[in-house]
Amino acid sequence: MEQIDIELYRAVRSVYYSDTLHKPYHIYIEEVTKLRHCKRKYAELETSQKGKKQKRRLEKMKYIEAYDD
């Protein structure tokens, strides 16, 4: 009986508390979500900057080819 109580306590505790941060679980979830959002936003920004650089390079090459005498 004691073994079941301990397992039940651990299960309930793992739902409400993050074992790694010792914070309430909902705060842990908010932080993880915020971190994922920041990572995704940074990745989108990085890809858009790469796209802009490639576009500029292509425009330069077209300009050079058009006016190359």
pLDDT tens digit sequence for 7-58? 666 666 665 555 555 666 667 777 778 888 888 888 888 888 888 889 999 9
pLDDT at 13: 62
Supply 43's token pair: 């990745």
Q: Is the pLDDT of residue 64 over 80?
A: yes
Query: Which domain covers residue 32, as residue numbers?
Result: 2-66
Number of domains into which the chain is organized: 1
Check residue 30 and give its pLDDT. 79
